C-alpha cells in the first residue's frame, strides 16, 4: 500500500462509526433513532440539538430523526419520551427548564426529571442575554429606572412560564425592583420576532440567535448573564455591569440528553460513549462556538450529580420568587 492509499484508508477509518460492545452483540442500533426536542424550531435548544444529532448519527451509523414536540414549557415533549418504549431508540433533548426548573415550579409535576429518566449526558449550552428594542434605554439600570417611573408600560417575552429565561428575568426584577410584565410565548423565536417588531420592549434569549440582531442594530443586547463578557461579543456588558449589581448574575441554558428510566444500562452507556465521541469532534465544537454556544460535557452518574447541584442552586431562588416563578 503506497502513502496515498494509506492516508485515504486512515481517513476512512477515522470517519467510520465506532461500534460499542453492545452494538456488536445485539445489533443495536439497527434502525434510525428518534430524538424529541420539547421546544419549537428556531430556538437555541433546537439549534444545539440539530448539530448534536448529526454528529451522534455519524457515531452510531444510523440517522437521528428530530421531532419538535413543543408545549407546556417543554413538558409535552418530556412526557412523550417518558411514555416511549425504553429500547434505546427514543431520546429527549432537554434543557435546564425541563430537567431542573419544572420539578421546582410545578405544584403537581407530571414527571420527575431524575426518577423518570436515565441521563445519557449533559452536553453544554449557552448563556442567556437580555435584549431590548433599539428605542429602549442602553443599559439595564436605565431600563429599570424607566420601568419604575412608568409602571405598566413595559413587557418582556420568554419561551414560556417556568423556563430558565422566565426565571432569570423574574430574578433580575426581584433584585432591581423593575416593573416589567411577563409575556410567555411558545418558544424563543416568536418572542424574538415580537421584540424586533416593537411589540415587546425586552426579550430573554441566548447569545447566538440574538447576536446578529444586535450587530445589525435591530435589537440591543444590554446584558449577558455570565460572570465575564463573552469572547465573541466583548462589547456587551454582563448583566451585573449593566444593572449595577454588586454580585455576578449567571444563568445558563444547558442541554441534556435523557431516555426513559427503564432503558437497559448497556444501551444508556453506549449512547453516552457515542455522545462523548460526538462532542469531542473539533468540527462540532467549532460549529457550536460560531453560534455562541459551548460544550461542557458530563456523562453517566456525573450528569446526574450536575443536575442535583443545579437543583440545589435554583431551589432557593424559585422559593423566593413564589408565584412569580409560575406566571
* Nearest CA-CA partner of 134 in 239, 217, 233: 217
Residues of the chain with CATH 3.40.190.10: 127-243
Rg of the Cα atoms in the chain: 21
Strand 64-68 and strand 33-37: the pairing is parallel
pLDDT score, position 324: 84
pLDDT score, position 323: 85
Q: What is the rounded CA–CA span in Å between residue 232 and residue 224?
A: 12
pLDDT score, position 52: 97
Residues of the chain with CATH 3.40.190.150: 27-125+253-325
pLDDT score, position 8: 40
* Nearest CA-CA partner of 312 in 322, 300, 304: 304
In which region does residue 177 sit, left (phi positive, over 0), alpha (psi from -120 to 50) or beta (all else)? left
Angle between helix axes 140-149 and 164-176 (nearest 10 degrees) is 70
**The CATH homologous superfamily of the domain defined by 127-243:** Periplasmic binding protein-like II (3.40.190.10)
pLDDT score, position 15: 45
Tens of pLDDT along the chain (327 residues)?
A: 443 443 343 334 344 454 444 554 568 999 999 999 999 898 889 999 999 999 999 999 999 999 999 988 899 999 999 999 999 999 999 999 999 999 999 888 999 999 999 999 999 999 999 999 999 999 999 999 999 999 889 999 999 998 999 999 999 999 999 999 999 998 899 999 999 999 999 999 999 999 999 999 999 999 999 999 998 899 999 999 999 999 999 999 999 999 999 999 999 999 999 999 999 999 999 999 988 899 999 998 899 999 999 999 899 999 988 888 876
Answer whether CATH 1.10.260.40 is correct for domain 27-125+253-325. no
Amino acid at each position: 500500500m503506497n502513502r496515498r492509499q494509506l492516508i485515504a484508508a486512515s481517513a476512512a477509518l477515522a470517519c467510520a462509526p465506532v461500534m460499542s460492545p453492545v452494538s456488536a452483540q445485539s445489533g443495536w442500533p439497527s434502525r434510525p433513532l428518534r430524538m424529541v426536542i420539547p421546544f419549537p424550531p428556531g430556538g437555541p435548544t433546537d439549534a444545539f440539538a440539530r448539530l448534536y444529532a448529526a454528529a451522534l448519527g455519524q457515531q452510531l451509523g444510523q440517522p437521528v430523526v428530530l421531532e419538535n414536540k413543543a408545549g407546556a414549557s417543554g413538558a409535552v415533549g418530556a412526557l412523550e419520551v417518558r411514555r416511549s418504549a425504553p429500547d434505546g431508540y427514543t431520546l429527549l433533548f432537554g434543557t435546564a427548564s425541563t430537567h431542573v426548573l419544572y420539578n421546582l415550579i410545578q405544584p403537581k409535576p407530571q414527571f420527575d426529571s431524575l426518577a423518570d429518566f436515565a441521563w445519557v449526558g449533559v452536553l453544554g449550552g449557552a448563556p442567556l442575554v437580555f435584549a431590548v428594542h433599539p428605542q429602549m434605554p442602553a443599559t439595564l439600570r436605565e431600563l429599570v429606572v424607566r420601568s419604575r417611573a412608568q409602571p405598566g408600560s413595559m413587557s418582556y417575552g420568554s419561551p414560556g412560564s417556568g423556563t430558565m429565561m422566565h426565571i432569570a428575568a423574574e430574578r433580575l426584577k426581584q433584585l432591581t425592583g423593575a416593573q416589567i410584565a411577563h409575556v410567555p410565548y411558545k418558544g424563543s423565536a416568536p418572542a424574538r420576532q415580537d421584540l424586533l417588531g416593537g411589540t415587546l420592549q425586552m426579550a430573554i434569549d441566548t447569545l447566538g440567535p440574538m447576536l446578529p440582531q444586535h450587530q445589525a442594530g435591530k435589537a440591543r443586547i444590554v446584558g449577558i448573564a455570565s460572570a465575564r463578557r463573552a469572547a465573541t461579543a466583548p462589547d456587551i456588558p454582563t448583566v451585573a455591569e449593566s444593572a449595577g449589581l454588586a454580585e455576578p448574575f449567571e444563568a445558563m441554558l444547558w442541554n441534556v440528553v435523557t431516555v426513559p428510566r427503564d432503558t437497559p444500562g448497556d444501551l444508556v452507556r453506549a449512547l453516552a460513549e457515542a455522545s462523548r465521541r460526538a462532542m469531542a469532534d473539533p468540527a462540532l465544537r467549532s460549529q457550536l462556538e460560531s453560534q455562541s454556544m459551548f460544550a461542557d460535557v458530563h456523562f453517566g452518574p456525573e450528569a446526574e450529580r450536575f443536575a442535583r447541584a443545579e437543583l440545589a442552586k435554583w431551589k432557593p431562588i424559585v422559593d423566593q420568587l413564589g408565584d412569580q416563578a409560575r406566571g
